[in-house]
Amino acid sequence: MKNLAALFLCLVPGIFASAQRCGTDEFIREWQSQHPENQQEHEQYINALSQINHPGKNLQKKAEILTIPVVFHVVHNYGSENISKAQILEQLEILNQDFRRRNADTSITRDIFKDRAVDTEIEFRLANIDPKGNCTDGITRTASDLTYGGDEAVKKLVGWDYRKYLNVWVIHHIGMKTENGIVAGYSRFPYQTSSLQDGIVIDHRYVGKSGTSNATVAGRTLTHEIGHWLGLLHPFQSGCGTDNCEDSGDMICDTPPVDGPSFGCPLGNNTCDNDSKDEPDMVENFMDYANGSCQNMFTQGQKEVMRHFLSEWIYRGANVSESNLASVGAFRSEACAPVADFNTHDAVNHVCPGQSLTFKDYSWNGNITAYEWTFEGGSPATSVSSQPVIAYSIPGNYKVTLKVTNDQGTSSLTKESFITVIPSGGVWASPFEEDFDGIYSKDLWQGETNGKYGWRLKTDAAYSGKTSMVCFIDNDIEEGTTFNLYSPYFNLSKHLDLSPILSMRTAYSLRKSGTGEKLNVYATSDCGHTWRLLKTFVGATTLYSKSDYNPAWLPETSDDWKVLEVPLDRFDLDKQNEVRLRLEFVSGPGGNEVFIDDINVDQFALSEHTEERLAKPTIWPNPSSGQLSIQNPTNLSGQLTIYDVTGQLITTQTLAPSSVSSHVLPGSGVYVVHTTLGDHFFTERVIVTQ
């Protein structure tokens, strides 16, 4: 009999190429390595499997219907993973059809297995009462970027009492991966029960068979994972084993052992010839890996295993007790008060003065009969629409409040500083330099992340200083995934006659042969409402700085970096004083990160005309207590302009040639100092602490 810690992975091609349907085996292996103290519970589980059913035992008795109360926790970031209630209800109906053998495809079960295909007499209902006694529709919605591969971490965000509910967490994608593909779902077995982690995690693309899912999945992924949650193994779990059915396959005697996972719908397969009946593989079984449209049955032996753990195993048994079903409202269907939530359309929450934003209602838990919006700084300032369009004219940060109502109650949500109106003129004038060593670099440059992937500062790989910006990806991430890095807003209006150039140092090496990743450079002059592609750098031709193949590569010397240049003078800008750049990194078939350092917006590129660069003014102390000194090291007259970070003008003064001047700043905060010397412009951040 094999120990579960040594089980192989669950692989299957689903709606995505080389996808992995079930990550339960991988999860068990990792869990057991971390919890060796639970070996006794594991052995009890294995013993229960081997004793529940065996040849000669009467398994054909009719049983009472056991009902499992379910709650779906949708963890989302206002994207496609925030699936509809209709998609969840469709999945619930599929579960009830599959477990009661009322699914429409029972007719395709082959004759050799029809007498073993059974109604498990197990049903599922959405809870109608939450752990606090409040009305619920059995669905919660939580906004978090943990939806991107958060896996076990999402359970710390939201989870209900495991003794009362079956928790199902729906997320954008599961971070657990193998070199063979993605994981569609995974479950805990009965002996792994814990108050914080019991339940099932599933990729939203495998919930139901419509909406964000696909008809070929047929909603069978959750049927499969609930089978695990109720104690079932894969029919290939122990391989062909021996002619003893209790030590082969899934240790259930009426499911033929299978040598390995079944992919597609291979009805002619018979991968084990040492089982006592030498039967073909039961690819129809929900616990194998055949296509969802091929799966259609549980066996009588599997029914006995699942019902054993529901009735005899203490934690599972509590779920289906009459007292628990009453306490969670499993047979109640009352309407509930709504829970308010909202975002902007396309999740854009910044505008230029005079622009408008469309707001979208994401409230849940109950149908809404009335909306009351309040928009600080917006016009109109209030709305009763479900999707209002609001204009903003004055720079600043503004809160938004939504109140939703129905006959059952009211809910209100306020998001502070939710909308940012960008100051006209852009705070940052060129020339601009960013080496990512400043304490405010991470605030100026906004990078998209997706779990462990995406843009972040890195302190052990830089061309200058100690820090660079890296977009981390690897060969596990889906090809074509994009991550954007957004710059602050620039004022180029005084610099266009000098042909401004965006230049930056990059370090990148391909993981393997092929085109590699792409880095697209975009610009906008209308606060992101429209973007223009300026240039594309391709990994295998114009992006790479190291020619050999280096998986998980780190640049170590200056020779590992190169300079990329993008002319900005040909960018036909409507407003040259409100320019924002976007660096879009696109994953390729290999998957390797790119490092960026020393971003520069100037009339000169990093690699050219260094002798022509004008000495920049010296500003000290920084940080400052409020008294600032500025030295003009040139023989040119200049102009000094100081703003706060909201774009509010603080002072404008003349800089005399070869002089030092003093200036007093009004209070604590971050200030932006612009200096103009001849045709050259400089920008620096100053921190004041008082």
pLDDT tens digits, 451-506: 789 999 999 899 988 999 999 998 878 888 999 999 988 877 666 566 788 999 99
Please say if the pLDDT value at position 3 is more than 50.
Answer: no
Residue 658 is predicted with a pLDDT of 87
Of 195 and 183, more confident: 183
| Shared fold status for 342-421 and 428-612 | no
Q: What is the pTM assigned to this prediction? A: 0.80
Q: Which residues contact 531 (CB under 8 A, 6 or more apart)?
A: 522, 523, 524, 582
CA distance 281 to 273: 10
Band (10; pLDDT cuts 50, 70, 90): very low
Pairing relationship of beta strands 183-187 and 20-22 according to DSSP bridges: parallel
Which pair of tokens denotes residue 574?
């409507």
Q: Taking Cα atoms as reference points, which of 117, 156, 441 lies closest to residue 254? A: 117
Whether 225 is a known active-site residue: answer yes
pLDDT band at 62 (very low <50, low <70, confident <90, very high): low
Rounded Cα distance between 47 and 247, Å, is 11
Distance of CA 186 to the CA centre of its chain: 17
Q: In this predicted structure, what is the pLDDT of residue 170?
A: 98
Supply the pLDDT for residue 161.
93
Say what the pLDDT of residue 8 is: 30
Residue-wise over 641-667: b if at least 16 C-beta within 10 A, else e?
bbbbbebeeeeeeebeeeeeeebebee
- At the topology level, CATH places domain 618-688 in Immunoglobulin-like (2.60.40)
Answer yes or no: is pLDDT of 48 > 80.
Answer: no
Among 39-48, 406-415, 667-676, the range scoring the smallest mean pLDDT is 39-48
Helix (H) or strand (E) holding 620: strand 618-620
Angle made by CA atoms 94, 98, 99, in degrees to the nearest 5: 120
- pLDDT at 260 > cutoff 90: no
Provide the CATH number for the domain formed by 342-421 in this structure. 2.60.40.10
- The correct CATH number of 4-55+66-327 out of 2.130.10.30, 1.10.3720.10, 3.40.390.10, 3.20.20.70 is 3.40.390.10
Chain centroid offset of residue 329 CA? 32
Q: What is the pLDDT of residue 183?
A: 86
Question: Does residue 543 surpass a pLDDT of 70?
Answer: yes
For residues 242-263, give the mean pLDDT.
Answer: 84
- Domain residue limits, the chain: 4-55+66-327, 342-421, 428-612, 618-688
Residue 4, pLDDT score? 41
Q: How confident is the model at residue 430 (pLDDT cuts 50, 70, 90)?
A: low
Torsion angles phi and psi, residue 498, rounded to 5: -100, 15
Cα–Cα distance for residue pair 660/257, rounded to 1 Å: 86
CA of residue 530 relative to chain centroid, distance: 25
End-to-end, the C-alpha distance of the chain in Å comes to 71
Residue 306 binned pLDDT confidence (cut-offs 50, 70, 90): very high
What is the amino acid identity at position 134? N
- Quickly tell me which residue has 């300079």 as its tokens: 563
How would you list the strands of the sheet with 342-344, edge to edge?
342-344, 356-361, 389-392, 378-379
The catalytic residue among 81, 225, 246, 584 is 225
- Residue 356: beta bridge partners? 391
* DSSP 3-state of 90: helix
Rounded-to-integer distance, Cα 266 and Cα 256, Å: 15
Asked if 595 and 502 touch (Cβ cutoff 8 Å), the reply is no
For residue range 186-245, list pLDDT tens digits in order: 998 887 666 678 999 999 999 999 999 988 889 999 999 999 999 999 998 888 877 777
Q: How far is Cα 129 from Cα 318, in angstroms, rounded to an integer?
A: 16
Nearest to 501 by CA among 428, 439, 563, 544: 563
**What pLDDT is stored for residue 21 in this prediction?**
61
- Tell me the mean pLDDT in the region 253-268: 90
Mean pLDDT rounded to a whole number for the chain: 85
Query: Which CATH code for domain 428-612?
Result: 2.60.120.200
How far, in Å, CA of 564 to CA of 583, rounded?
12
Here the tokens at position 330 are 């499993």
DSSP letter string, 116-148 = TB----EEEEE-SB-TTS-B--SEEEEE-GGGB
Q: What is the pLDDT of residues 314-364, one digit of tens each?
A: 678 889 999 999 999 999 999 999 999 999 988 888 888 889 999 999 999
